[in-house]
A and B are shown apart, each in its own frame.
Chain A
Amino acid sequence: MTSISSASPAFTGNDPENRLFGPLPDVTGEAGYEDDHPARVGFFTDTSVCIGCKACEVACKEWNTLPMDDADGNRDAMGLSGMSYDNTGMLGANSWRHVAFVEQSRAVDLPMPSIGLPAAPGQGTDGGGGCGGSCGSAESPSHGAADGTTVAQHDVLNAQALSSFDPQTSQSADREIRWLMSSDVCKHCTHAGCLDVCPTGALFRTEFGTVVVQDDICNGCGYCVPACPYGVIDQRKDDGRVFKCTMCYDRLTDGLQPACATACPTQSIQFGDLEELQARADARLATLQGQGVETARLYGRDTDDGVGGAGAFFLLLDEPEVYGLPPDPVVTTRDLPSMWRHAAGAAAMLVGIAVTSFLGRRR
């Protein structure tokens, strides 16, 4: 009989190194599951093929019978956000998938060295002056030029590549328009802040390596809500308890795929064994970058990041914060040992001051 702990792996005794952060190769085993537990599953959300249809949002709402709410999480309210096609607004207790819509534009006449980019000329000069042996072969022929031309040419190539390969880009008069769309979801973190701080053990690690709330245990203390570095989990006010994506735990145990991934028509949401997804994502990134989509990057893929890597990770076409994601999230418990030490010092100080105030002259 094994005991499944809702404590952080650092305290289950399964992790000799007491890790509160950093990579954790077998997060399920660390939580106390036997060696024959299923492989860790996850999502790879490839936003470069997302068409913003919100099928995932609808599928999730339907499968999990989530109530309606508006962009600020007000229950049974309907309202337009007035900012974009995004009226879901954010992840919350009633929205476990959230498709972000970002409308961007740029001028088309790109052979200018800089379009509102103060750093570009500087980079060009640097590139011309100090290109040592470390310069790559692909770039080196043009690197001799000590002016902005390098960058400008680069931009043109980049732009053409982007418009021909990026399905989210189109042209309108003198501007290019692109819509960034990304279906956000709970990251099912390797080191999940929500799970670490839950005082009741309502949040636990499943045999699939995902993070799930047991709604018969949660007493609505709300601690997990500000503890999540991504702002995912939230409280349903009228209910009192907290809710978030379960990675369709009920479907997984029946051998089905999560509802959102099943509904996604473009395979933007890919579900599977995490290791396989990571390999697939690396390949996809290489393909995109080979095609010149240099803004592509993976988010949450790095197991060295602040949450030990995410179970649900993303391929993004711009900075994470453009999509409303924190650029460098860190599980809050990483700093907890230091806080506890300081709190112990402060408690000792309180007792010391209170006791010593009784010493000395009696008045």
Chain B
Amino acid sequence: MTGPQHGPEVTQEQSPGLSETGVPAEAVDAPLDHRPGTSGVATPGGGWRKADGPSALKREKRKRKGGGRRGGARDGDPTVGDADFQSYYGRQIVKSAVWKTPDVPLYLFLGGAAGSASVLGAMAEFTDRPALARTAHLIAGGGAIASVGFLIHDLGRPERFLHMLRVFKPTSPLSVGSYILSPFSAFTGATAALHLLGQVPAVRGSSGWVPRLVRSVGLRRTVGVAGAAFGGPMAAYTAVLLANTATPSWHEPGDQLPFVFTGSGLAAGGGLSMVFTPVDQAGPARKAAVVGAAVELVAMHKVEHDHGIVSEPFHIGRAGTLLRLAKACTATGAVGAAVLGGRRWGAVASGVLLAAGSALTRFGVFDAGMASSKDPKYVVVPQRARMAARAEAAAAEAAAAS
């Protein structure tokens, strides 16, 4: 906000308050729409209020119902919820993502699980844990191929999937992600195929050069490592994919979501590997899963508590339920893996819990973002607070300069 947006009187009305305290008192205490520097008038809004809308009862209903369907409520009530803010008939301001559920949350889950499993698998190849290597690579390859399927299915024009690869744009996480997912799915898919083909009797018994190549440990290790190189980015980029939008509850925690997603990916990849691997080889998967679950819980706690009103959608509604369930599963699974992971049934139970927790986290985060886009409160209130903070900083600076 610079010169032209303020009438000359604005400065006059505000300056008295400033010259005394250096900080405009109104900036802190006044209701949001009365803050100086926002409304730009001496008498805020000139006294105009939304003409009488429908009954307060209806308003209450809308409030309890929460977000509601796309397009918001039509009850003509400008101030919805507890926070003091104005809106256009309670309608949403930013558009909700058009991504389908469960496609995209599942894609996020599988990408994380496959990403961490690819690294576990590659390491297992080199440390003489054939069963773990096989399981992890099958999870990685299967997850990656399924991811590609979900991603393509989610496109409005699936036949144009390859248009993703006609440009490379670092400003587009989906473009970057396409260049991560393509080689990742190719390499992990190939590694998994090598594992599977190696088991086929015809290949095992034959001495032709193709079967020998398929059985070659060197090839499998090379392709496995190539896939694993994209494993970390694969699990992390999907967080940026969500965060780099105008959806309030995805954008604000943008620096923490990558840690939620990679932690959750480790928990899922490690957990699933535990389920299908004999316990004597599954030690590393267990450790990785437990540490990953801890990272997920800590990072998710920050997402849920560090962002004021924008953290709210993580606690309420369907997202809140999903995330509470997710936490219960992840925490139980992590403790179970640490304590009982050495026994077969314990490993299976805790592995399943960890994977379920990871999946629920993705669904919960996805839902929370969708809910935050549907209520104008999450757009207006934080932006107003930002403007007020800016005005305050500018005022403080001006006071310091004079």
Chain A residues within CB distance 8 Å of chain B: 6-8, 10-11, 20, 71-73, 81-84, 89-90, 92, 100, 102-107, 110, 115-120, 122-123, 126-127, 129-132, 134-136, 138-139, 151, 154-155, 158-159, 162, 177-178, 193, 196-202, 217-223, 225-235, 239-242, 281-282, 285-286, 289, 294-298, 301-302, 304-305, 318-319, 321-329, 332-333, 335-336, 338-340, 342-351, 353-355, 357-358, 362-363
**Considering the chains assembled together, what is the distance between the CA atoms of A326 and B22 in angstroms?**
29
- From B5, B120, B246, give the contact of A302 (CB < 8 A): B5
Determine if B11 and A136 form an interchain contact, defined as CB atoms under 8 angstroms apart. Answer: yes
Known: A230-B93, A297-B40, A353-B291. A339 touches B258 (CB 8 A): yes
Query: Is chain B's interface secondary structure helix, strand, loop, or mixed overall?
Result: helix
Check: B383 CB closer than 8 A to any chain A CB: yes
Supposing A132-B19, A304-B2 touch, asked if A7 and B155 sit within 8 A by C-beta, the answer is no
CB distance from B35 to the nearest CB of A (A): 9
- Shortest beta-carbon distance, B178 to chain A, in Å? 6
Question: Which single residue of chain B is at the shortest CB-CB distance from A126?
Answer: B17
Which of A11, A123, A349 sits near B171, CB closer than 8 Å? Answer: A11
Contacts of A197 in B (CB 8 A): 171-174, 244-245
Most interface-central of A20, A83, A116 (chain B CB within 10 A): A83
A256, B379: Cα distance in complex, Å: 37
Q: Which residues from A are CB-within-8-Å of B167?
A: 6-7, 199-201
* Contact A227:B246 (CB < 8 A) given known A11-B171, A222-B156, A289-B7: yes
Q: How far is the CB of A271 from chain B (nearest CB, A)?
A: 20
Indicate whether A82 sits within 8 Å of B74 (C-beta atoms), given known contacts A219-B160, A324-B88, A354-B266. yes
**B312 on the A face (CB < 8 A):** no
- Contact segment of B195-203, B228-236, B326-334: B228-236
Complex A-B: 14 CB contacts under 8 Å: A72-B69, A106-B49, A110-B47, A122-B30, A136-B11, A139-B12, A151-B43, A158-B46, A219-B155, A221-B156, A225-B98, A298-B4, A322-B78, A354-B119
**Contact between chains at B156 and A239 (CB < 8 Å):** yes
Q: Which of B31, B50, B166, B373 contacts A104 (CB 8 A)?
A: B50
CB within 8 A of A354: which of B34, B123, B174? B123
6 smallest beta-carbon distances between A and B, as pairs:
A220-B156, A240-B156, A324-B88, A347-B232, A219-B160, A346-B258
- Across the interface, A333 reaches (CB within 8 A) one of B86, B158, B171, namely B171
Does B130 sit within 8 A of A, measured CB to CB?
A: no
Verify B266–A342 contact, CB threshold 8 A: no
CB within 8 Å of A: which of B100-158?
Answer: 115-116, 119-120, 123-124, 127, 154-158
- Which of A71, A119, A357 is in CB contact (< 8 Å) with B284? A357
Hey, which chain A residues are within 8 Å of B52, CB to CB? Answer: 105
User: Which residues on B sit within 8 Å (CB–CB) of A344?
Assistant: 236
Complex Cα–Cα for A176 and B397 (A): 40
Q: A106-B46, A234-B95, A342-B255 are in contact. Are A200 and B164 (CB under 8 A)?
A: yes
Chain B positions 235-253 with a Cβ under 8 Å from a chain A Cβ = 235-237, 239-241, 243-247, 250-251
Q: Cβ of A92: which chain B residues have Cβ within 8 Å of it? A: 95
New contact pairs (15) apart from A233-B95, A321-B87, A354-B119, CB-CB < 8 Å: A83-B74, A100-B88, A103-B51, A104-B48, A116-B47, A197-B173, A218-B157, A226-B97, A231-B95, A319-B45, A336-B244, A351-B232, A353-B292, A357-B270, A358-B284
Q: How far is the CA of A144 from the CA of B96 in the complex (A)?
A: 52
Choose among A10, A116, A357 the residue that contacts B291 (Cβ–Cβ < 8 A): A357
- CA A350 to CA B258, docked complex, whole Å: 10
Residues of the A chain whose Cβ atoms lie less than 8 Å from the Cβ of B379:
326
Query: Is there an interface contact between A155 and B43, defined as CB atoms closer than 8 Å?
Result: yes
Q: In whole angstroms, how far apart are the Cα atoms of A12 and B239 in the complex? A: 25
B15, B71, B266: the one contacting A132 at CB < 8 Å is B15
Tell yes or no: B295 within 8 A of A by CB: yes
Determine if A343 and B258 form an interchain contact, defined as CB atoms under 8 angstroms apart: yes
Instruction: Say whether A235 contacts B254, CB under 8 Å.
Output: no
Q: B residues near A, CB below 8 A?
A: 1-2, 4-9, 11-13, 15-17, 19-20, 25-26, 30-31, 33-34, 38-52, 69-71, 74-76, 78, 85-89, 91-99, 115-116, 119-120, 123-124, 127, 154-158, 160-161, 163-164, 166-167, 169-175, 177-178, 228, 231-233, 235-237, 239-241, 243-247, 250-251, 254-256, 258-259, 261-262, 265-266, 270, 280, 283-288, 291-292, 295, 342, 373, 376, 379-380, 383-384, 386-387
Check B171 against A336 for contact (C-beta < 8 Å): yes
Q: Are B236 and A343 in contact (CB under 8 A)?
A: yes
Question: A13 CB to closest chain B CB, in angstroms?
Answer: 12
> Which residues of the other chain, B, contact A362 by a CB distance below 8 angstroms?
283
Contacts A155-B47, A346-B261, A358-B127 given: A123-B255 contact, CB under 8 Å?
A: no
